[in-house]
Structure 1
Amino acid sequence: MKPRTTTVGLAGLGNLGLPMAHALLDDGWPLTVFDQRPEKARSCIDAGAKNASTADELAAVDVLVLVVPDDSAVESILLSEQGYFANSSNGTVIVHSTILPASARALASSAKKHGTRFIDAPVSGGSARAREGDLTVFVGAEREDFESVEDLLCAVGSEVLLAGGPGAGAATKLANQMMMFSALAGAYEALHVAEKYGVSPEMVLKSVATSTGASWVAAHWGFFDETAAAYSSSGTPVGDRPWSKDLFEFIEAARTAESSVPFAGLLSQLLPGYVESHARDAAAGKATGHDRKDDHD
């Protein structure tokens, strides 16, 4: 599969899907896009993409790329009577959505019955890196299937890692989310307490940058405020945002694997409120021209 000759359909033009679509266009892939909100496709069409009025119209493409919100959205596009599995011929599906490992395995099995390649390939890095084709891609697939789409995956990711068979990509992504969100919750609480003693968040973040408390979260402070604002602008419900959805999916994956994750359970109850309240305070501070203090009491 190569640019300019392999047709690609992309469904889901949200916070990650839209910049990923532009990265694919920049790399020369013939692209057809679809989103439930047709206005989201405008910039892609202006850049040379075709527009599909329904997801069913993507059945004719060589590779279907899904960047839709969750398992049910993925399954509705792939498994319905009008879906991709039933109506494509010798096609390939790449799922960049964060879904459950068990769902990825089941979809891979269904794909095989239909003669379709299935690539479980969730991503990490945020919208800015997505636009530059600089994401990390966690891949779960048979090696032959992975190698068939490696050039396409490299158009959206600078680090493309084959973690194992179908479901391994999803499991690796959920592990990443759990580790990142653990650091994020700790950072919110740490900054809040330090500020009670007169130490500014900026000073704490500068101090930990070269200390044992260093983390991606601390080095990119403000990332989740901006991401939450983008989700709010696009009308994404709080329950569908990663700090809610992905944590609950991690817990569900652990339950399926009969593994106890008590800290994840606590984190899933606390973190969404932390992120959303901090993002609201940050937005209010920008609107009034001054920073607002964290408040988790």
Structure 2
Amino acid sequence: MGSAIVDRLVDCDESVVVYDLDQERTDTAVGKGAVGAASAAEVAELADVVGICVPADRHVEAVISGPGGLAKTAKAGQVVLVHSTVLPSTVRDARATVEEWGGFLHDACVAGGVDAARRGEMVLLVGALTDLPDAAVRLLHLLGDRLLDAGPVGAGAALKVGVNVMSYAQFSAAAAAFDLVERNGAESDTLLEAWRHIGQLGRLTESYVSLLSLPADVVAGSMRAYLVATAEIARKDLDLAAELAHSGSGLHGVVTALGEAVPEVFRVGESSSQEDRGGQGG
């Protein structure tokens, strides 16, 4: 997602400074018109608005306070936006750290996928949107065509986890339904036609279901590696959801069940491999 955000801002003729632990990704962004930095600290030195797009909670803290982090060169009035899917408490703790140098931190979590990011059509779930400085609001309007005030800082992160639970629930339902109908002599294409007609098949889920029809020889090699990485992200997001959900509720079991189903949903689980080899799945 970070690369797509950079692409969008460069296409909008914004001055963009990038840093990534993966030098190849930094080089790719520079080749498209961004300026490369040697550390997060250098980004903070050059930019007034800093966006963080990293895999997990611990990386947010590392970008801000770790060796070569933003805190080393940050300045008063600087705005830090957290785009990653993380716990609300992570955002609130990061905000407290940024406030120590007179900066502002808000969650500005993104939803809609990389294609929407490159078109500037994402939904942005922003904590304390009305308190966000104008320079940051202007940039967010370049990234998305819908900015939603999530509530206090941290609420955007909670909403993003909720959005992801809804998405993975739909993917899981589609995978289960495809398996069910095909094992019982019905056609999955007919299932999709019915789903569309009653208005329950959204654009994101319709994009996902194409995975379910791919031949086994396609779900291999680099494609499988991509799906494994995607499944790992999904499982991480659902672990966050399980942490946030009420453990005494039956709904908590729904979240944990979605997490357990992730490998099959993305066709990288053991029973999926058996099916792809022509065996009998469970």
Task: State yes or no: 1:187 paired with 2:178.
Answer: no
How many positions carry a matched residue from both structures?
269
Task: State yes or no: 1:133 paired with 2:126.
Answer: no
Q: What are the residue-to-residue correspondences of 1:249-268 with 2, within 5 Å?
A: 249-254=240-245, 260=249, 261-268=252-259
Identity of aligned residues (%): 25
State the TM-score, normalizing by the size of structure 2. 0.84
Instruction: Go from structure 1 to structure 2 and tell me whether the alpha carbon gap of 1:191 and 1:222 turns closer, same or farther (over 3 Å shift).
Output: closer
Measured on the aligned residues, the alpha-carbon RMSD in Å equals: 3.1
What letter matches 1:269 in structure 2? E
Distance 1:148 1:295 in 2: 57
Identify the residue that residue 273 of structure 1 maps to in structure 2.
264
Per the TM alignment, residue 230 of structure 1 is displaced from its structure 2 partner at its CA by 6.9
Q: Does the 8 Å contact 1:185/1:274 carry over to 2?
A: yes
State the TM-score, normalizing by the size of structure 1. 0.80
What letter matches 2:146 in structure 1? E
Q: Does the 8 Å contact 2:79/2:103 carry over to 1?
A: yes
Identify the residue that residue 244 of structure 1 maps to in structure 2.
235
Distance 1:42 1:268 in 2: 35
Per the TM alignment, residue 217 of structure 1 is displaced from its structure 2 partner at its CA by 4.6
Identify the residue that residue 232 of structure 1 maps to in structure 2.
225
Among 44, 52, 60, the alignment partner of 1:66 is 52
Instruction: Go from structure 1 to structure 2 and tell me whether the alpha carbon gap of 1:173 and 1:231 turns closer, same or farther (over 3 Å shift).
Output: farther
Instruction: Go from structure 1 to structure 2 and tell me whether the alpha carbon gap of 1:64 and 1:295 turns closer, same or farther (over 3 Å shift).
Output: farther
Unaligned runs of 5+ in 2: none
Q: Does the 8 Å contact 1:76/1:83 carry over to 2?
A: yes
Per the TM alignment, residue 264 of structure 1 is displaced from its structure 2 partner at its CA by 0.6
What letter matches 1:59 in structure 2? A
What letter matches 1:102 in structure 2? S
Instruction: Go from structure 1 to structure 2 and tell me whether the alpha carbon gap of 1:237 and 1:217 turns closer, same or farther (over 3 Å shift).
Output: closer
Instruction: Find the residue that maps to 2:245 and give its secondary structure.
Output: helix
Q: Does the 8 Å contact 1:78/1:85 carry over to 2?
A: yes
Per the TM alignment, residue 44 of structure 1 is displaced from its structure 2 partner at its CA by 2.0
What letter matches 1:247 in structure 2? L
Identify the residue that residue 157 of structure 2 maps to in structure 1.
170
Distance 1:51 1:214 in 2: 41
Instruction: Find the residue that maps to 2:132 and give its secondary structure.
Output: helix
Q: Does the 8 Å contact 1:121/1:169 carry over to 2?
A: yes
Instruction: Find the residue that maps to 1:99 and give its secondary structure.
Output: coil
Unaligned runs of 5+ in 1: 1-15, 286-291
Instruction: Find the residue that maps to 2:120 and give its secondary structure.
Output: coil
Per the TM alignment, residue 20 of structure 1 is displaced from its structure 2 partner at its CA by 0.9
